[in-house]
Amino acid sequence: MRRRNTPAKSTILTLLKDAGTALSQDMIEDKVKGEMDRVTIYRVLNSFCEDGITHRILADNGKYYFALCLNCGEEKHDHNHDHFHFRCTKCEKVECLDEEVTLTLPQGYVKQTISSWVTGYCNNCS
Amino acid sequence: MRRRNTPAKSTILTLLKDAGTALSQDMIEDKVKGEMDRVTIYRVLNSFCEDGITHRILADNGKYYFALCLNCGEEKHDHNHDHFHFRCTKCEKVECLDEEVTLTLPQGYVKQTISSWVTGYCNNCS
DNA sequence: TATTTAATGCAATACCGTTGCAATAATACA
DNA sequence: TGTATTATTGCAACGGTATTGCATTAAATA
């Protein structure tokens, strides 16, 4: 299926680019309220994820955030680098921290994925 | 409000004790299917959390797990120790790892909570 | 410009957790 | 032990969120 460019897609893509950080479903919904149907937002975001334009991350608050794939390879997203994610509880900003997650699993354990979240105040909000 | 002991509560409590690990809502629901109403399970689990009998943890798969409070103090649950949580993708077991999460935040950042999840195979499943 | 079919909006559906309410039953007390 | 109180339960209804079906619209291509 060959994708088509539409106003809805451009709007959401621009939104993500301008934000510079990951945006949650609600945040996106709020910003494009009235411009398009709720269902369209779901479908656009899903298609972005399928096409490797964005990836979907589940934050520690149970919400999904969408972030542009910048350093993501074909198979794996950048998120396999096992770094911490930060979520500001004041401004709701979500970002990746440089700090790597280091972990030694007990004998006999095999690691697949790591999801590490820190909440708090970012440098702007503290 | 003085709590009362009921078959529903005993059943779920026994389930958690026997399991030895944290159980998700669905797992509990599956195991007591037919014995009690869906709503009752929600209410029992909520009351357990309110009473400090269990705590509720959000796993990296977006599901809530319920675990007996063993070393939990009055105010804070044991989970404030910033340790890793492990979820086996084969047997679905969820457990706390001894390994502590160490992290140095960038200048100006303030830490509130940490949620660190590792998925993979446990020693029994690897 | 005409054709093809991806994308959209709307309505309907599914899923998950909660709430209202009447009926039930666990506890306290006479 | 029997009765009164009220926490608990089941059922139905609700609210929020994500998905699906389908007719319509419009992006891409010839």
Option in B106, B115, B122 nearest A60 (CB): B115
CB contact A91 to B (< 8 Å): no
On the question of pLDDT at A10 being above 80, the answer is yes
What would the two tokens of residue A94 be?
A: 């979500």
On the question of pLDDT at A116 being above 70, the answer is yes
Report residues of chain B scoring pLDDT below 50: 74-75
CB contact A120 to B (< 8 Å): yes
Q: What pLDDT score does A81 carry? A: 67
Q: How far is A23 from chain B (nearest CA, A)?
A: 17
Question: Could you name the CATH architecture of B7-68?
Answer: Orthogonal Bundle (1.10)
Chain B hits for A123, Cβ within 8 Å: 106-109
Radius of gyration of chain A (CA): 16
**Domain A7-120: top CATH class:** mainly alpha
Q: What pLDDT score does A96 carry? A: 86
Q: What pLDDT score does B80 carry? A: 53
Please tell me whether residue B23 adopts helix, strand or coil conformation: strand
Residue with tokens 């299926």: A1
In angstroms, the CA of A121 and the C1' of C15 are apart by 34
Q: How far is CA B19 from CA A52, B15, B92, B95, in A?
A: 40, 6, 12, 11
SS (H, E, C) chain A: CCCCCCHHHHHHHHHHHHHCCCEEHHHHHHHCECCECHHHHHHHHHHHHHCCCEEEEECCCCCEEEEECCCCCCCCCHHHHCEEEEEECCCCCEEEEEEECCCCCCCCCEEEEEEEEEEEECCCCC
Burial class (CB in 10 A: 0-12, 13-18, 19+), A10: exposed
In angstroms, the CA of A46 and the C1' of D19 are apart by 12
In angstroms, the CA of A40 and the C1' of D24 are apart by 15
Chain A hits for B89, Cβ within 8 Å: 112
Residue limits of CATH 1.10.10.10 in chain B: 7-68
| Mean pLDDT estimate for chain A | 90
pTM of the predicted structure, to 2 decimals:
0.87
Helix H or strand E encompassing B39: helix B38-50
pLDDT digits (tens, 9 = 90+) for A20-73: 899 999 999 999 989 999 999 999 999 999 999 999 999 999 999 999 987 665
Helix H or strand E encompassing B38: helix B38-50
Radius of gyration of chain B (CA): 16
Percentage of the residues of chain A whose pLDDT score is greater than 90: 76
A125 annotated to a ligand binding site: yes
Residues 6+ apart with CB under 8 A from B2: none
Q: What pLDDT score does B99 carry? A: 87
Q: What pLDDT score does B76 carry? A: 53
Chain D, protein-covered positions (CB within 7 A): 6-13, 17-21, 26-29
